Amino acid sequence: MSYLFTSESVSEGHPDKVSDQISDALVDNFLAFDPNSKVACETLVTTGQVVLAGEVKSNTYLDVQKIARDVINNIGYTKSEYMFDGNSCGVFSAIHEQSQDINQGVDRAKKEEQGAGDQGMMFGYATNETENLMPLALDLSHRILHELAALRRENSEITYLRPDSKSQVTIEYTDDNVPFRIKDIVVSTQHDQFLEDDNEMLAKIKADVISILIPRVIAKLPASIQALFNDSIVYHVNPTGKFVIGGPHGDTGLTGRKIIVDTYGGKGAHGGGAFSGKDPSKVDRSAAYATRHIAKNLVAAGVADEVLIQVSYAIGVAKPMGIYVNTYGTSNVDKADGEIAEIIETLFDMRPASIEERLKLRQPMYLETAAYGHMGRENRIVNKTFRNVDGTEVSFDVELFTWEKLDYVDKIKSAFNI
């Protein structure tokens, strides 16, 4: 029997994502001037206010107020009428030094013996239902908002958009777990009060979403996914009514409240730890990236059509407690999931220092992860420049989303005789 599955996404202007981006901008700046920085930064945003808190061990000093304001302005909160803008909001910092009790469990004389920055379990997931091996409902939700943000910045076809928005996609699957149609699409977007009549204004927004936004999204999809769009899709556009008050003025935002948006949209699993604001010694982040890397390469190599990987750690201990594999009955090799896990352990060193080295996680690479998902993104190299409060300037060629590389496919095929 067929079934429905839904995933959501939120835009870069959503208050929780504003917080994530500020926290990750701080991580990037600390790593840019001191690659060995230990960072755990949280951000709260609300009407006219930003609060920064957390623990840091670093040899550099940053103008955290300027970093926060630059992020807010780049997102698009640049007008006082939003009741939250980068030039006028208050920024309060309560960042202090990392606890020595925690630090002693992480730093080691030998780098390879570096302990995990916390206990916990982390999950990675991949499925062959999309080209980037991500769940389709989440991938489409991200694409809708990414294209909506592009339209907002172009300010040509649609001129009334504000930064805050959300999307949601419901897909019907066959009983063989194959997506065969899109049932519902939800788009809620903040907007100017550009017409006096609210009903007329909402009708205009819905028409623009259906006739301008969605065709732009479809045009960038492969033909197999384009075929899932149909005339019977139910569009819920700003279903509560007008959405003028939004962003941190409409809702308080906090770092780490959108972890399912950040990962797999409810497919697979999530260990519970957030990513943004944390340097890679925190396995909540680095091991989640490493398990995605493993899962993606396993699916790409043909080991299974769908894979979930779990790894777990004890704080201060380098070697993980164990690795778990679930192929959901889609394995294409003559091995049990436990046997697959044993082979993975021989191919991937999951000690924290090894993960950092393999995925190049000491780069200032994290601001780009903090909106539109950490997984399923394009691996690419960009040049980034950072300026410190003392006038120091550094530039880097930074490789983004290294965990999305398919660089272990050949090794996996060899190990599994594929």
Positions at the binding site for L-methionine? 55, 98, 251, 282
User: Which segments are annotated as binding site?
Assistant: 14, 16, 42, 55, 98, 164-166, 242-243, 251, 257-258, 274, 278, 282
Amino acid identity of residue 325, one-letter, is V
CA 345, chain centre distance (Å): 26
User: Which segments are annotated as binding site for K(+)?
Assistant: 42
User: Which segments are annotated as binding site for Mg(2+)?
Assistant: 16
Amino acid identity of residue 257, one-letter, is R
Residue indicated by tokens 């050949």:
410
A 10 A CB-CB count for 214 gives 18
Backbone angles phi, psi at 209, to 5 degrees: -60, -45
In angstroms, rounded to a whole number, what is the distance separating the alpha carbons of residues 74 and 259?
Answer: 23
The two three-digit tokens of residue 377, written as one number: 């993104």
Decide if 14 contacts 243 (C-beta within 8 A).
no
Decide if 9 contacts 145 (C-beta within 8 A).
yes
Concatenate the DSSP letters of all residues of 161-188 into one string. EEEEEEEEEEEEE-TTS-EEEEEEEEEE
User: Which segments are annotated as binding site for ATP?
Assistant: 14, 164-166, 242-243, 251, 257-258, 274, 278
Residue 297 burial (C-beta neighbours within 10 Å; 0-12, 13-18, 19+): buried
C-alpha distances (whole Å) from 333 to each of 42, 329, 364, 391 are 44, 11, 38, 57
Residue indicated by tokens 């496919």:
409
Per residue, what are the HEC states of 323-360?
EEEECCCCECCCCCHHHHHHHHHHHCCCCHHHHHHHCC
The two three-digit tokens of residue 74, written as one number: 């780049």
| Cα atoms in the Cβ-side hemisphere of radius 13 Å centred on 296 | 24
In angstroms, rounded to a whole number, what is the distance separating the alpha carbons of residues 5 and 267?
Answer: 9
In angstroms, rounded to a whole number, what is the distance separating the alpha carbons of residues 294 and 162?
Answer: 38
Taken in order 128, 130, 131, 134, the sign of the CA dihedral is negative
C-alpha distances (whole Å) from 34 to each of 28, 109, 274, 279, 390 are 10, 18, 23, 12, 14
Q: Which of 169, 162, 244 is nearest to 9 (CA)?
A: 169
